[in-house]
Structure 1
């Protein structure tokens, strides 16, 4: 019987012939398809992205301004003004109260508000760029400006002991809650205070932090208030309690500018008393600080005044009573603080039972304004940025201009300009130069009031999708 045709036969001779293999079409596709895909993609050119040009934040005029004014005692007046503008209507409100009270403000006129609690002030429209305020005290002369809420505050020279204590006032002008963290530095370094972390202030309310109760310590302290959520206005009430025959002394400690390596404490008060310079170094490295006395036409290091070393994260105190008083009698107008690392500084003076604070003031080309409490006042100009003129204009409480002086300035120079009796508002306008300015007021005590430029615009960042990393 013959074999079927499809039956394979085995070759003879001991050798095997190669078996013919058939390639599957699926395998061909599996190999070629990725190669074809890669090749096709290599031929595709995506649209070129236009070059992203970095643009600065846009300047816009503010449409609303909120001020936080510290509490007073007894009959401490709160003054509000529309500086260098047409005026308008502002609204004041006390924390924990829902209703607000309208206040009509006129250009360069000063309006008094009868309220001793913390006061929240809101200006809208054109008034938003003109609103200023200050709390003052006639008995034991003192004054402090109302603050714009901001994310970071430094206070140098606060106390938390039996012979010097300070209270931090936090006020929330918005409806939602705000949260702040308070850091405390001593001469030995930072202090860990859990109760000062995550301090929550509900919307429209205020919170008081008595440091002598929260973190009792001897010596001078410095604190930083960082607002991590919402907005807060932070102010400090400073007090030296009655000790023996010494009467109680109280006032407001102004916030220090951000730490820097060059500061001008402008406005020195003469007379008998005690001058204490408090330096704070919030960094980690040691800072070496040089102190120079500033006059109207020069600055110099007094004989015997040595360099001060401030360790990182600590506070250093320097007693300057003899040095400063001698130089004030010879015409000194300020104290220049130059350091190798960023520091903060405050000069605290006790004069005739009154507490006075001088804080750094920066030169500026913009017009600066301040509310002036009752007393004998003069404007101190310092650190001019070159040859130019400074116009000093004084206004009474009704907005009437009492006098206008023009002061010639040269590079680094300063001047002292007496203000007429009844001055309630003063404005310094530099021409072709920049200059720093403070007001020194003497009466039943003394106070130093810095002049600040108005907030004429805010910044809106340039935000666009798809910016390259």
Structure 2
């Protein structure tokens, strides 16, 4: 070997070979960042959804209570592809893996309903195949007495990792509870940032909360923010996915003053729209959250049936850094169905709380993102007309809607233009069975919600039905970028 290495030509060949090996190793150990887009692919491709998972929450214990879930794999617009394969049913079942299904979505377009029950088990809607695309569901509870008297109805939530809620409270007379649901087979860890009128709160009990696999965890706001009147939450999962829901029980002294779920709000932005402020009497409260480190200056525009206007005395508001601000709007709205557009110099988000005329029931609706495709909503049976409120906050926009019954028959359908800055109302008659609604944006920016209010002169034994459901773009497609393999993964 020594003689071989003494040959200058052999030594040169060995050195060149060593350099080549080192260069190759450098390519592997210091690989360039992978391309997240396949060559020639400039925009995300759309992949048809073939799997669905929705969490349907239930309220706390009560008396004379009935809870049920209505779900549908809706009829999709003509030409919309669906996943390949047979139409395997979507199951509606308790969270435990050993729980027997209590219902199934069997065919596209027909509403599946669970039996009304006093059991308070959260349910999951799950399945794969062609029925998954666009699946929508609503969890509804009614009670004739006690702390849950009235109607609490909320759309079932797709799990995720980042959510915002605005309009909560831990003041006397409020009992707000954040319910975290984990549909997956591994634990999730969640941290909640709590904002108040005085700024962000130190809430160690709301950090690092473990949500067990196929289970739930609850955070009582009265324990993490005792006495705080106006609150907003950011819910972030650092491991696993969760489906959060914020339950709100209100009391007027010792008298129940309603129960409902506070709908999530869109992520903070410099322009947000809160749709679906119901017509009629009662209180209308707008809650604004500025989660940034700078004071925000926000301009409010009311989008009413006759067009936009600036509310007197409320056209411009200052929201301190990291704080929540509350405004009363009922006088400015004059009982009209409306939306509110907020333009701010800092990212903010918002929600609106509305009560019936007797202030014995309420509903809350959060800021929504503009519709970018069809949105589907399952409506439970209702004794009073439900109102679809569609708002075009900018230029004139076009919208198409269809209301279908439980057997998929079209009850009402129409295409119309919404004048820029205005809110259009479409009224749906009372229904004794569940129905489902499709709202599709045809042009321009659109925000929409459905509201339900009790009769102006209800009967003495009527249970007040107050609800607000936002319309959001349903999960029919997922954006997917082409990608090259990441060779670094093998070295981790």
Q: Give the structure-2-normalised TM-score.
A: 0.79
Q: 1:323 aligns with which of 324, 332, 346?
A: 332
Q: 2:477 aligns with which of 454, 457, 466?
A: 457
Whole-angstrom CA distance in 2 between matches of 1:432 and 1:449: 22
Q: Which residue of 2 aligns with 1:70?
A: 57
* 1:51-450 to 2 correspondences below 5 Å: 54-55=37-38, 57-72=44-59, 74-85=65-76, 88-96=88-96, 98-101=98-101, 103-114=104-115, 116-138=120-142, 140-244=150-254, 246-296=255-305, 298-324=307-333, 326=334, 328-329=335-336, 332-351=337-356, 352=358, 353-373=360-380, 374=382, 375-383=384-392, 389-422=398-431, 424-443=435-454, 444-450=464-470
Q: 1:42-76 CA distances to partner (integer Å, 9 max, x unpaired)? A: xxx99x99997944555322221110111146203
1:91 partner SS: strand
Q: 1:236-267 CA distances to partner (integer Å, 9 max, x unpaired)? A: 111112414x4332111111111111122112
Deviation at residue 132 of structure 1 after TM alignment:
0.8
Deviation at residue 83 of structure 1 after TM alignment:
1.3
Number of aligned residues: 433
Cα 1:388–1:442, aligned 2, differ >3 Å: closer, same or farther? same
Deviation at residue 306 of structure 1 after TM alignment:
4.3
CA contact (8 A) 2:391 2:418 kept: no
Unaligned runs of 5+ in 1: 1-28
CA contact (8 A) 2:89 2:131 kept: yes
Between 294-303 and 336-345, the greater mean CA deviation after superposition: 294-303
Unaligned runs of 5+ in 2: 1-6, 77-81, 144-149, 455-463
CA contact (8 A) 2:73 2:109 kept: yes
Whole-angstrom CA distance in 2 between matches of 1:384 and 1:417: 17
1:92 partner SS: strand
2:343 partner SS: strand
Deviation at residue 220 of structure 1 after TM alignment:
0.7
Cα 1:317–1:152, aligned 2, differ >3 Å: closer, same or farther? same
Cα 1:105–1:165, aligned 2, differ >3 Å: closer, same or farther? same
Whole-angstrom CA distance in 2 between matches of 1:387 and 1:272: 29
CA contact (8 A) 1:394 1:420 kept: no
Deviation at residue 226 of structure 1 after TM alignment:
0.5
Whole-angstrom CA distance in 2 between matches of 1:92 and 1:348: 31
Q: 1:263-317 CA distances to partner (integer Å, 9 max, x unpaired)? A: 2211222333222211111111111111111124521212222422111111111
Whole-angstrom CA distance in 2 between matches of 1:439 and 1:52: 43
Whole-angstrom CA distance in 2 between matches of 1:52 and 1:166: 45
Whole-angstrom CA distance in 2 between matches of 1:384 and 1:334: 9
Q: Give the structure-1-normalised TM-score.
A: 0.82
Cα 1:208–1:381, aligned 2, differ >3 Å: closer, same or farther? same
Whole-angstrom CA distance in 2 between matches of 1:317 and 1:420: 34
CA contact (8 A) 1:235 1:253 kept: yes
Whole-angstrom CA distance in 1 between matches of 2:248 and 2:36: 50
